[in-house]
């Protein structure tokens, strides 16, 4: 199961960006309900379902749900108007504070508030916020909130709760790019090998599978190269892991600069790399593998003991009738790689 904190913050980015992008006139009541609904649905789609009973008691159950999943320790006491919430050990408190400064709206600074507002709205209620405070050092937040009838709240001062259209349009224009970049960065980190900058194994196999299925369906050529650094463990043992990391980065750079843009390149694991070449038969894939091997061997890696020459072994396999799955194609490339290493390395072997 995924981590609740990770899913919650994904839901906040997703919901906040989606709702602000869809409305031309922004009223707090509308924004909060929509964001709350989106957050709850997002959490439910990502292993943290919240089941409603259809009563106002769902608000208390929602608070317990957040607390049970580590959002914070919560203590609720009666106040002169409504209830006083004390959130102890509230994670993300800095983020909430910054979001409050951006929106000038304390309700929008906390995803739980939006969710509560959404549930309450189903029963004709809304939350009137009397006070809210953050203590960034202790991780404690206080909020005094009161359930009131939605119609009453509008009649008593809806103007104070309406976020000016122009101000929010300016905010959304200013921060839409930042939100989009944040989402793109989340996606990039989830699909990229942190050391080499290439696609990680999961993303590599996902894209390779797409290419494989397309090639089989339309009877097109497809080849795979499995690459392994020769004598990588002795390099690590002799020159240190920093030198080993330098070798992997150099190999990744050579892969990127030598191969085509359409080729799918990724770190398969350890010092192994995989390249999937669309529209390539065994002959053309072998030529590409030879160029890549020559490129890598021509670029010594600097270590604390001087420059070290690096060579690689490469196995090449191409799509044929015997390969009914991507895995079988990669196994064939791996078998060819084993032959190249068995024969002394620094060479290409074709399956």
Give the model's confidence band at 160: pLDDT under 50 very low, under 70 low, under 90 confident, else very high: very low
Q: Is the CB of residue 276 less than 8 Å from the CB of residue 340?
A: no
How many angstroms separate the CA atoms of 7 and 307, rounded?
45
Question: Which residues lie below 8 Å from residue 197, measured CB to CB, with a gap of 6+?
Answer: 249, 252
How many angstroms separate the CA atoms of 75 and 105, rounded?
23
Residue 33 has pLDDT above 60, yes or no: yes
pLDDT at 111: 81
How many angstroms separate the CA atoms of 312 and 294, rounded?
9
pLDDT at 79: 81
CATH number of 4-191: 3.30.1380
pLDDT at 328: 96
Of these ranges, 15-19, 21-25, 87-91, the one predicted with the greatest mean pLDDT is 87-91
**HEC string for 21-61:** HHCCCCEHHHHHHHHHHHHHHHHHHCCCCCCCCCCCCHHHH
pTM here is 0.51
pLDDT at 336: 97
As a whole number, the mean pLDDT across the chain is 83
What are the phi and psi torsion angles at 143 (to 5°)? -145, 135
Which has more pLDDT, 256 or 23? 256
Least-confidence region, from 152-156, 295-299, 316-320: 152-156
Q: Is the dihedral of CA 84, 55, 72, 113 positive or negative?
A: negative
**201-350 CATH fold:** Alpha-Beta Plaits (3.30.70)
| Domain spans, the chain | 4-191, 201-350
Q: Same CATH topology for 4-191 and 201-350?
A: no
Residue 164 has pLDDT above 70, yes or no: no
Section 53-71 average pLDDT: 89
Q: How far is CA 160 from CA 34, 83, 301, in A?
A: 19, 21, 64
How many angstroms separate the CA atoms of 92 and 307, rounded?
46
Residue 165 has pLDDT above 80, yes or no: no
Model confidence over 92-145: pLDDT tens digits?
766 666 656 655 555 556 788 888 888 988 888 877 777 777 777 777 888 787
Model confidence over 200-216: pLDDT tens digits?
999 999 999 999 999 99
Diameter of the chain by CA atoms? 85
pLDDT at 77: 86
- Strands 312-318 and 348-350, sheet pairing: parallel
Token pair 């119609």 in the structure block, residue: 151
Q: In the sheet that 222-229 helps form, which strands lie side by side, from edge to edge?
A: 264-269, 272-278, 222-229, 312-318, 348-350
pLDDT at 18: 67
Model confidence over 244-301: pLDDT tens digits?
999 999 999 999 999 999 999 999 999 999 999 999 999 999 999 999 999 999 999 9
pLDDT at 333: 97
Q: How far is CA 156 from CA 110, 123, 209, in A?
A: 24, 19, 59
């Amino acid at each position: 199961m995924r981590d609740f904190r990770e899913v919650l913050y994904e839901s906040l980015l997703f919901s906040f960006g989606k709702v602000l992008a869809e409305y031309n006139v922004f009223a707090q009541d509308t924004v909060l309900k929509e964001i709350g609904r989106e957050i709850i649905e997002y959490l439910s789609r990502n292993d943290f379902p919240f089941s409603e009973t259809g009563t106002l008691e769902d608000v208390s159950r929602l608070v317990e749900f957040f607390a049970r999943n580590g959002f914070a320790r919560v203590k609720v006491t009666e106040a002169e108007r409504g209830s006083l919430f004390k959130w102890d050990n509230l994670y993300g408190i800095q983020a909430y504070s910054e979001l409050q400064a951006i929106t000038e709206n304390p309700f929008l600074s906390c995803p739980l508030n939006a969710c509560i507002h959404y549930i309450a709205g189903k029963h004709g209620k809304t939350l009137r916020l009397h006070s809210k405070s953050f203590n960034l050092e202790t991780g404690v937040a206080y909020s005094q909130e009161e359930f009131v009838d939605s119609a009453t709240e509008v009649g008593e001062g809806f103007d104070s709760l309406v976020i000016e259209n122009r101000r929010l349009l300016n905010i959304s224009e200013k921060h839409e790019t930042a939100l989009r970049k944040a989402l793109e960065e989340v996606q990039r980190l989830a699909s990229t090998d942190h050391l080499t900058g290439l696609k990680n194994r999961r993303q590599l196999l996902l894209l390779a599978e797409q290419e494989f299925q397309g090639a089989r369906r339309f009877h097109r050529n497809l080849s795979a190269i499995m690459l392994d650094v020769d004598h990588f463990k002795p390099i690590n043992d002799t020159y240190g892991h920093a030198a080993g990391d330098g070798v992997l980065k150099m190999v990744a750079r050579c892969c990127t600069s030598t191969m085509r843009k359409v080729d799918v390149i990724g770190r398969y694991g350890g010092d192994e790399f995989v390249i999937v070449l669309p529209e390539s038969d065994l002959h053309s894939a072998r030529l590409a593998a030879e160029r890549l091997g020559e490129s890598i061997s021509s670029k010594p890696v600097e270590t604390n003991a001087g420059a070290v020459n690096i060579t690689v072994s490469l196995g090449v396999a191409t799509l044929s009738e015997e390969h009914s799955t991507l895995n079988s194609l990669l196994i064939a490339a791996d078998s060819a790689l084993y032959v190249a290493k068995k024969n002394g390395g620094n060479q290409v072997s074709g399956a």
